[in-house]
Amino acid sequence: MSEVGKEVPALLRGITVRALVIYFVLLLPVMISGCILRNFTDKSATFHGWFIPLFYIVIINELLGKINPKFRLNAAELLVISMPMAMAAGKGYMVKGVTAGEVIWAQLDWGITAIASALFESSQKDFYLKMAPWFMFPEQDRLTVADILYNGLKPGQTIPWGLLAVPILYWSLVTILVSMLGIWLVFGLFGQPWVEVERLVFPMAIAHNYLITKGVTEYDPTARRSKIFDLGDPHTKAFWIGFIVIGVPLSIAPVLTEVLPAIAAAIPGYLAFQWGELKVVIPPLAAVLPGCYALGALIIDQGLIWTLLPNDVLYTSILIWVIFSVIWQGFAVVAGIYPYEPGMEYRWPWENVPHFWDPFPYGLLSLLGGTVAVGIWQLWVYRDRVRKVFGTITGGEDIVERGLSLKMTTWIGIITFILLVIIWTASGVPIIVSFLYVLFLAIWLITSARFWAELWWHEPNFAANGDWPTVFLFPIGGAIGAWTTA
């Protein structure tokens, strides 16, 4: 129910024929080009996806409206088009319109290429030859297919699409189901209280939302002009002045590194990569407290957008770094708890750093226990919301939020969860382990979504950085006799 005197905005139809046509026409070339960029360039961590930045889409949409107002897409249609494309281009697309960070659609080939790589590791070859079922990786001519994927085609060879068809379908299904599970957890369970109760900032969506609001939603049909192109408006003037004076110069920094590295290398002390991460070293801090973590990373867009975050979030982030990375780490080195290694002050956090060293691997504790705790904490805090949502399928009335049926989305979430358990079990995983794996995955998705809603994309990777499957599932599998732990 709306507040008295407050106008409730009308819901726009986004899933239209033209939006779906544009989406499907663009999807395949975007995915293929992203795969090529990611796998066949020397900067796979940077050029690992592709799509037209939203900024240019808004301009194109404006020009189409000038030609004929009927050609102009509404905000909901742009959402339908841009969100899946953001999944194809990477998490950085939402913030700055370029690839930076993991690409969700990359899971389509990660599973296949990972097995191909493992078949070329002598320590893992026999294990994967035995354990990878035919629908995960081709069984016929397995080593030949792995060689093609790992080393490329030799003269006269062709890609064995017939052998790869089923694995591609398998990993496509896994990718879709994992995505659907995350979508349900956000839009079905936690999205409403995060947005309407807590009023979380969702910092990574600010630029995207601003462009859609000012460039599409706020539109003068008489002048055929969106607010962002109305230079008579003082806010619009401020936007374009900031764009030219601040945005363009700051964007030059990462562009030089990624596109013109020779020029960037000639600038003393210039370090920028992945479209805007600048390595910040603090030698005076390392000199005063050898072994402490005297490194920072200035992500240009994050630094600017974080000025909009509540102060308690900013203070907490700084305080944690000071307590653990500076004071504790420096003290531990001086006291001999951690051995001193030259240059340890300036290593990236994913390298061999004291965050992961015994006897107090505080980084690992955060990656594992912390992320589990955040997910469980959210389930507990919103337990009434969880009961309310699941109540729609256990005899209660359906609830419609912003045009979305919670009963329908809840059934989608439950079916998705069950299908993921079935898939892993059919792949040879014990059913108890399959269930727990998907359960931990759901908890991790809740935690990651919370991080993104409140901070940035610095959540731990489910399988790599945090190593959840090994730490949590390996001993459970051993306890039920699924494998030996010796």
pLDDT, tens digit, 9 for 90 and up, residues 162-190: 999 999 889 888 888 988 998 899 889 99
9 within some domain: no
Same domain flag for 324 and 393: no
Same domain flag for 79 and 219: yes
1 within some domain: no
Classify strands 404-405 and 295-299 as parallel, antiparallel or unpaired.
Answer: unpaired
Give pLDDT, residue 192: 92
Burial of residue 59, with CB atoms counted within 10 A of its CB: 0-12 exposed, 13-18 middle, 19 or more buried: middle
Please state the φ and ψ torsions of residue 282, each to the nearest 5 degrees. Answer: -125, 80
Average pLDDT over residues 225-231: 91
Query: Is residue 99 very low, low, confident or very high in pLDDT (cuts 50, 70, 90)?
Result: low
pLDDT greater than 70 at residue 222: yes
12 within some domain: no
Same domain flag for 313 and 436: no
Same domain flag for 326 and 417: no
pLDDT greater than 70 at residue 43: no
396 within some domain: yes
d(CA 50, CA 39): 13
Same domain flag for 149 and 74: yes
The percentage of the chain sitting over the pLDDT mark of 70, rounded to a whole number, equals 86
Same domain flag for 298 and 339: yes
Strand partners, 281: 295
Give pLDDT, residue 3: 44
For residue 266, how far is the Cα from the chain centroid?
33
Same domain flag for 147 and 168: yes
CA atoms within 13 A on the CB side of 205: 15
d(CA 234, CA 243): 14
Six token digits for residue 380: 């507990």
Six token digits for residue 93: 């697309």
Domain end, chosen from 246, 267, 295, is at 246
The percentage of the chain sitting over the pLDDT mark of 90, rounded to a whole number, equals 30
Give pLDDT, residue 2: 42
pLDDT greater than 70 at residue 267: no
Same domain flag for 295 and 157: no
Average pLDDT over residues 447-456: 89
The helix (run of H) or strand (run of E) holding residue 391 is helix 383-391
d(CA 339, CA 486): 29
Domain end, chosen from 246, 268, 300, is at 246
Q: Give me the amino acid identity at 137.
A: F
Q: What are the residues whose beta carbons fall under 8 Å from the beta carbon of 335, sequence distance 6 or more?
A: none
Domain end, chosen from 351, 385, 414, is at 351
Burial of residue 95, with CB atoms counted within 10 A of its CB: 0-12 exposed, 13-18 middle, 19 or more buried: buried
Give pLDDT, residue 293: 94
Give pLDDT, residue 4: 45
State the pTM of this model.
0.86
The length of the chain in residues reads 486
Give pLDDT, residue 464: 52
**What is the residue-averaged pLDDT of the chain?**
83
67 within some domain: yes
- Please calculate the CA angle 328-331-337 and round it to the nearest 5 degrees: 95
Average pLDDT over residues 100-105: 58
Same domain flag for 166 and 302: no
**More confident of the two residues 319 and 263:** 319
Six token digits for residue 21: 């046509």
Same domain flag for 346 and 366: no
Q: What domain range is 194 assigned to?
A: 17-246
pLDDT, tens digit, 9 for 90 and up, residues 339-354: 999 999 999 887 889 9
Q: What are the residues whose beta carbons fall under 8 Å from the beta carbon of 22, sequence distance 6 or more?
A: 81
pLDDT, tens digit, 9 for 90 and up, residues 117-148: 788 777 778 888 888 888 988 988 888 888 88
144 within some domain: yes
pLDDT, tens digit, 9 for 90 and up, residues 383-433: 999 999 999 999 888 999 888 899 999 999 999 999 999 999 998 888 998
pLDDT greater than 90 at residue 246: no
Give pLDDT, residue 304: 84
Give pLDDT, residue 407: 94
Query: Is residue 485 very low, low, confident or very high in pLDDT (cuts 50, 70, 90)?
Result: low
Same domain flag for 344 and 402: no
Task: Tell me the DSSP string of 236-297.
Answer: HHHHHHHIIIIIHHHHHHHHHHHH-HHHHHTSTT--EETTTEEEEE-HHHHHHSTTS--EEE
Structurally, the chain folds into a number of domains equal to: 3
Q: What are the residues whose beta carbons fall under 8 Å from the beta carbon of 27, sequence distance 6 or more?
A: 84, 85, 88
pLDDT greater than 60 at residue 271: no
- Please calculate the CA angle 262-263-269 and round it to the nearest 5 degrees: 100
Same domain flag for 403 and 299: no
